[in-house]
Amino acid sequence: NYYFDQAATTPPHPDVTRTIAEIMMQHYGNPSSLHQLGEASVQLLRKAREVCAEALDVPPRTILFTSGATESNNLAIKGAALQYSKRGRHIVTTAIEHASVYESVKQLEAWGYEITILPVDQEGRITPKQVLDAIRPDTTIVSVMHVNNEVGTIMPIQDIGLQLKTKYPRVLFHVDGVQGFGKVPLNIKGSGIDLYSLSAHKIYGPKGTGLLFVREGVQLTPLLSGGSQEHGFRAGTENVPQIVGMAKSMRMAVEGRITVAERMSHLKESIMDQLELIPELVINTPRELTAPHIINFSYPGMKGEVLLHMLEEAGFMVSTRSACSSKKSEPSGVLLAMGRTSAAATSGIRISLGNEHTDYEVGLLMEAIRSIVARLRHWKGGQR
Ligand code: PMP
């Protein structure tokens, strides 16, 4: 079987798995304990924080460990909205954010906040001007993802951040960096970013572990009540083994970034070239300014799940959209927001690439897609 669903999750790297297992067995101390086993865990956490900070080129004290990007996004948006509610109760985000951002702002809306959702263009992008135009005296946070998880569109984060901070320095800027980190360069310090979310399992690290960068001086109202771990922003005993595993995967991502992204881009181009030759298909991922690992296409009139299961029978695992919402059979909100027809938005297929893919596997996948589409074409012809 060939796995082409790396945007949903990646297989953990064997070195990461080994590190996690070793720490679970040998360094099981609670970092809050005062004895030597506790102290050993404190040191592991300190080192992991340094490694993660170095990978993001930010100071170690700005890194806050969480259970993943869902928690990071919730904490960034709700934690900041609650903390700064005296300044105002207006939040700006985009129409194609991940559910953990979208549902967070929806919850705030139910609590009396006002939300502006910026529409995206046909490529799934917003402009800095749209953001600036949406800012009001009571706006406290702007949340924009770096790379969209369904189609791979890269948002102009640096332009948005710099223009926002020049004009409205008090408005906080949150970026969901999950699909961009390790694939698309981003200068966190140089982009006016106050809050930045990551998940380890998208970069060969463990599931259920992530981080939130919180720029110095930014305060958050904690969402979990309890101990004073993570500077008091996130209560609960730290998941030391997985945090160390995440640090390792982040270091590997940074070290391998250039060559790996180049290789993935080459495979992506090859897939796009071949998809373009199949007349029935609509390619939803734009050629330019998109991440190297995501390719989304539709076969309008054919449910995405049908194609997905036929591909699975042929030995290829892909996705219909983001894993978190793929159990719903409604059209993709991202594709609709990009102006696709309802038929195209119901038939989206996402191929996502990883470090280990080669031309050979991509060739097999494309062969399978061509043959399945030919069968479906024949079948659809017979239906008329
Ligand atoms: N944001 C984006 C863009 C994602 O792709 C994902 C993972 N589907 C998340 C947030 C949430 O990450 P996790 O499920 O690890 O909490």
Verify that 261 and 244 share a domain, yes or no.
Answer: no
Any ligand 1 atom below 6 A from CB of 174: no
Buried b (16+ CB within 10 A) or exposed e, 53-70: bebbebeeebbbbbbbbb
Segments in 278-358 forming alpha helices (H): 304-313, 333-337, 342-345
Q: What integer pLDDT is reported at residue 378 of this predicted model? A: 86
Residue 298's φ and ψ, nearest 5 degrees, are: -125, 150
Verify that 139 and 279 share a domain, yes or no.
Answer: no
Cβ neighbour number for residue 51 with a 10 Å cutoff: 20
Any ligand 1 atom below 6 A from CB of 178: yes
Best probe residue, ligand 1, of 75, 145, 149 (max atoms within 8 Å of C-beta): 149
Cβ neighbour number for residue 89 with a 10 Å cutoff: 19
pLDDT tens-digit profile of 259-318?
889 999 999 999 999 999 999 999 999 999 999 999 999 999 999 999 999 999 999 999
The residues that are catalytic are 324
- Ligand 1 atom at minimum distance from 210 CA: 15
Verify that 222 and 291 share a domain, yes or no.
Answer: no
Query: Closest residue (by CA) to atom 12 of ligand 1?
Result: 69
Any ligand 1 atom below 6 A from CB of 318: no
Q: How far is the CA of 297 from the centre of ligand 1 (A)?
A: 21
Q: What integer pLDDT is reported at residue 353 of this predicted model? A: 97
Q: What integer pLDDT is reported at residue 384 of this predicted model? A: 55
Which of 234, 252, 270 is where one domain is finished?
252
Q: What integer pLDDT is reported at residue 381 of this predicted model? A: 77
Any ligand 1 atom below 6 A from CB of 324: yes
Any ligand 1 atom below 6 A from CB of 242: no
Verify that 307 and 218 share a domain, yes or no.
Answer: no
CATH number at residue 51: 3.40.640.10
Q: Tokens 């978190």 belong to which residue?
A: 324
Verify that 84 and 192 share a domain, yes or no.
Answer: yes
Verify that 342 and 235 share a domain, yes or no.
Answer: no
Best probe residue, ligand 1, of 67, 72, 98, 211 (max atoms within 8 Å of C-beta): 98
Any ligand 1 atom below 6 A from CB of 285: no
Verify that 162 and 275 share a domain, yes or no.
Answer: no
CATH number at residue 278: 3.90.1150.10
Which of 237, 252, 267 is where one domain is finished?
252
Domain membership of residue 101 as a residue range: 14-252
Q: How far is the CA of 97 from the centre of ligand 1 (A)?
A: 10
ipTM for the whole complex: 0.99
- Ligand 1 atom at minimum distance from 207 CA: 15
Verify that 20 and 39 share a domain, yes or no.
Answer: yes
In Å, how far are 87, 261, 265, 286, 356 from 258, measured between CA atoms?
42, 5, 11, 21, 15
Verify that 49 and 129 share a domain, yes or no.
Answer: yes
The 8-class DSSP code of residue 381 comes to: H
Any ligand 1 atom below 6 A from CB of 180: no
Q: How far is the CA of 69 from the centre of ligand 1 (A)?
A: 5
- Residue 146 and residue 116 in contact, taking contact as beta carbons nearer than 8 Å: no
Query: Closest residue (by CA) to atom 16 of ligand 1?
Result: 70
User: In angstroms, how far is the first alpha carbon of the chain from the final one?
Assistant: 34
Please give the torsion angle defined by the CA atoms of residues 205, 219, 73 and 61, in that order, rounded to the nearest 10 degrees. -10
Any ligand 1 atom below 6 A from CB of 352: no
- Residue 140 and residue 88 in contact, taking contact as beta carbons nearer than 8 Å: yes
Please give the torsion angle defined by the CA atoms of residues 5, 9, 13 and 16, in that order, rounded to the nearest 10 degrees. 180
Q: How far is the CA of 87 from the centre of ligand 1 (A)?
A: 29
Q: How far is the CA of 26 from the centre of ligand 1 (A)?
A: 30
Any ligand 1 atom below 6 A from CB of 272: no
Q: How far is the CA of 77 from the centre of ligand 1 (A)?
A: 15
Count up the domains in the chain and report the number.
Answer: 2
Best probe residue, ligand 1, of 178, 196, 207, 239 (max atoms within 8 Å of C-beta): 178
CA dihedral (274, 276, 280, 284) positive or negative: positive
Please report, for the chain, how many H helices and E strands are present, in that order.
11, 12
Any ligand 1 atom below 6 A from CB of 298: no
Which of 198, 232, 252 is where one domain is finished?
252
Verify that 235 and 299 share a domain, yes or no.
Answer: no
- To the question of pTM greater than 0.95 for the whole model, the response is yes
Residues of the chain short of pLDDT 50, as ranges, are none
